[in-house]
């Protein structure tokens, strides 16, 4: 991937990753012009009222704009009555509702799928913002409709203090060293920890392509659940070689070291650890957005081979693979997928974001069975002809 990328303003992926990613911001004018017409402000308002959508309505009091309030979904029409002058509507995971938007992830091929979180959209009238803040996530802010003025400031961390008694984690001050107005299609990469403040210049939609990373606590939790389910580990350990006596109230450092070594040995010498992480990382962020599929079987599939359908990933699902002892192993939506070896290279293409013509090359019983299973689990979807 060493060619200049338009989305990175002509940087190569390698340059961006080594100089900017997780380090410093990058502004690219007209990076993603195709985003401008995907959603209109009214579409966002409508989406926010859908009971399954995760959304927040943030308001600033007219009399005291330093007084904030946040109403989380489900949002109802009444929440939008008697609005103050300054407000922002945030809607999460719009990529699960707009296939065109989901397709735009493909513009970021230099960051793997397991790091993706979701695409959030914000809608605000002139003056609206979510305040000065920082996030622990990497985010590409892309202007959709209208204009937003972005100010960037200092690097923050766990010790940074917030404004007291507010429902948002707001920064009391920002040392502004960047001040630019973004127009439709412009992109601003903001690394984790960097203070930022975006204020709508007019009726404005801004998309946040957010990237997630697990924390140690959630990985520990998942790994320990995984081991706790293993029957073979439920037998008591053999006692430590007991050639010394100690106070009967004491567990000696030696005994603790023995117990710890047994756990670490288990972690190190089984693939369960990696499998637990694959299950965690392949979990969908909003499983409720995964559509209920129409049950399909191999005969139904055979009947539509070569009729123009395309096979691709369902945007709300997550499919990942890893190479273990030269074998591709797949996880989807938190579960390991058992598939035929012949299907593995095909599924790899799909996990890598590709789509495939649903044609004779897939006409093998084992392959069609695996495809039917993954369609019935809504991991994959079939795009009808002319509806890409």
Task: Return residues touching Co ion (CB under 5 A).
Answer: 135
- Rule CB under 6 A: is residue 206 a binding residue for ligand SIN? yes
Convert residues 76-95 into a mask of x (bound to ligand SIN by CB under 6 A) and - (unbound). Answer: ------------x-------
Build a one-symbol-per-residue string for 153-192: x at contacts with ligand SIN by CB under 6 A, - elsewhere. Answer: ----------------------------------------
| Residue 156 · residue 193 · CB < 8 Å | yes
Cβ proximity of 92 and 122 under 8 Å: no
Q: Are 197 and 151 in contact (CB under 8 A)?
A: yes
The 8-class DSSP code of residue 136 comes to S
Residue 214 corresponds to which tokens in the numbers above? 């697990």
Q: How far is the CB of 124 from ligand SIN (least distance, A)?
A: 6
**One of 184, 191, 198, 315 touching ligand SIN (CB under 6 A):** 198
Q: How far is the CB of 105 from ligand SIN (least distance, A)?
A: 17
Contact partner, 333, from ligand SIN, Co ion, none, Cβ < 5-8 Å per class: none
Beta-sheet strands, E only, within the chain: 26-28, 55-60, 68-72, 86-91, 116-124, 138-145, 148-155, 178-182, 187-190, 194-200, 204-211, 310-313, 319-324, 327-332, 335-337, 356-357, 380-383
**Do residues 300 and 386 touch, judged by C-beta distance below 8 A?**
no
Residue 198's binding partner out of Co ion, ligand SIN, none, with CB under 5 to 8 Å set by partner kind? ligand SIN
Rounded-to-integer distance, Cα 287 and Cα 113, Å: 16
Beta carbons of 194 and 20 less than 8 angstroms apart: no
143 makes contact, choosing from Co ion, ligand SIN, none, with CB < 5 to 8 Å by partner type, with: none
Contacts (CB under 6 A) with ligand SIN, residues 257-316: none
Residue 206 interaction partner, one of Co ion, ligand SIN, none, beta carbon < 5-8 Å per kind: ligand SIN
Which residues are near ligand SIN by CB under 6 A? 88, 122, 130, 135, 139, 196, 198, 206, 208
């Amino acid at each position: 991937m060493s060619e200049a990328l338009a989305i990175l303003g002509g940087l190569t992926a390698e340059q961006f990753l080594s100089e900017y990613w997780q380090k410093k911001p990058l502004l690219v004018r007209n990076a993603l012009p195709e985003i401008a017409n995907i959603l209109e402000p009214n579409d966002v308002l409508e989406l926010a009222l859908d009971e399954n959508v995760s959304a927040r309505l943030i308001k600033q009091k007219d009399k005291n704009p330093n007084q904030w309030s946040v109403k989380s979904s489900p949002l109802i029409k009444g929440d939008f009555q008697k609005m103050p002058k300054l407000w922002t509507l945030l809607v999460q995971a719009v990529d699960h509702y707009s296939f065109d938007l989901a397709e735009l992830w493909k513009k970021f091929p230099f960051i793997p799928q397991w790091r993706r979180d979701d695409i959030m959209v914000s809608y605000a009238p002139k003056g609206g913002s979510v305040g000065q803040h920082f996030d622990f996530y990497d985010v590409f802010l892309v202007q959709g409709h209208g204009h937003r003025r972005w100010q960037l400031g200092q690097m923050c961390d766990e010790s940074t203090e917030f404004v007291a008694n507010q429902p948002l984690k707001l920064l009391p001050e920002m040392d502004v060293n960047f001040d630019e107005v973004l127009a439709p299609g412009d992109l601003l990469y903001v690394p984790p920890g960097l203070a930022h403040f975006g204020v709508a210049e007019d009726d404005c939609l801004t998309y946040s392509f957010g990237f997630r990373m697990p924390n140690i606590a959630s990985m520990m939790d998942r790994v320990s659940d995984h081991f706790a389910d293993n029957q073979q580990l439920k037998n008591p350990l053999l006692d430590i070689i007991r050639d010394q006596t100690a106070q009967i109230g004491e567990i000696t450092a030696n005994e603790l070291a023995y117990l710890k070594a047994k756990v670490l040995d288990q972690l190190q010498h089984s693939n369960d650890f990696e499998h637990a992480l694959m299950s965690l990382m392949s979990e969908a962020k909003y499983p409720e957005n995964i559509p209920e599929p129409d049950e399909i079987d191999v005969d139904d599939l055979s009947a539509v081979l070569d009729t123009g359908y395309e096979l691709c990933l369902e945007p709300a699902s997550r499919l990942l693979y890893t190479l273990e002892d030269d074998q591709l192993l797949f996880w989807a939506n938190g579960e390991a997928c058992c598939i035929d070896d012949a299907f593995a290279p095909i599924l790899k293409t799909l996990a890598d974001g590709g789509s495939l013509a649903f044609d004779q090359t897939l006409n093998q019983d084992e392959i069609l069975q695996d495809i039917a299973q993954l369609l019935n689990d809504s991991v994959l979807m079939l795009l009808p002809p002319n509806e890409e």
